[in-house]
Amino acid sequence: MSKKSQLRRKSRMEKVKGTFTKQDIQKIRVNLRDRCAYCNEPLKGKGCADHIISIFNGGSNFARNITLACRWCNLNKRTKSALGFLQWRKICGLKNRKGVVNGRRT
């Protein structure tokens, strides 16, 4: 990431509202049965906190906007919304998780 990109990201992050806790992440992990919200791969206690609506697109840091994803899904989702990413995966011929993203039906 270039220095300019890092500065833009830092500026966006400073304006983001909300926070989430380790307890929030644990609740999300339980809701998802410790599996990636997008591809359903086992997280084995790991995974990345992922913004359902990206910070880039105006998402918040409130727990209701956070889910857990495997590293591959987190890196490839980038600034897509959760729904947009699931649609992209489908177009690419990848299997999607059926059910929930952060406790809500998809």
Tens digit of pLDDT for each residue in 42-81? 999 999 999 999 998 999 999 999 999 999 999 999 999 9
Domain residue ranges in the chain:
3-105
Instruction: Report the alpha-carbon distance of residue 28 to residue 80 in Å, rounded.
Output: 20
Which residue, among 91, 93, 92, 94, has the nearest Cα to 70 in the 3D structure?
A: 94
Pairing, β 104-105 against β 100-101 = antiparallel
pLDDT at 94 over 90: yes
6-47 residue pLDDT tens: 776 666 667 789 999 999 999 999 999 999 999 999 999 999
pLDDT at residue 12 in the model: 66
- Report the CATH number of the 3-105 domain: 1.10.30
pLDDT at 101 over 80: no
pLDDT at residue 100 in the model: 59
**Do 38 and 95 meet the contact criterion of CB atoms below 8 Å apart?**
no
pLDDT at 103 over 60: no
Of the two residues 99 and 54, the one the predictor is more confident about is 54
pLDDT at residue 4 in the model: 78
pLDDT at residue 14 in the model: 72
pLDDT at residue 20 in the model: 95
Instruction: Report the alpha-carbon distance of residue 35 to residue 13 in Å, rounded.
Output: 27
Instruction: Report the alpha-carbon distance of residue 33 to residue 78 in Å, rounded.
Output: 23
Largest CA distance in the chain: 39
**Do 66 and 102 meet the contact criterion of CB atoms below 8 Å apart?**
yes
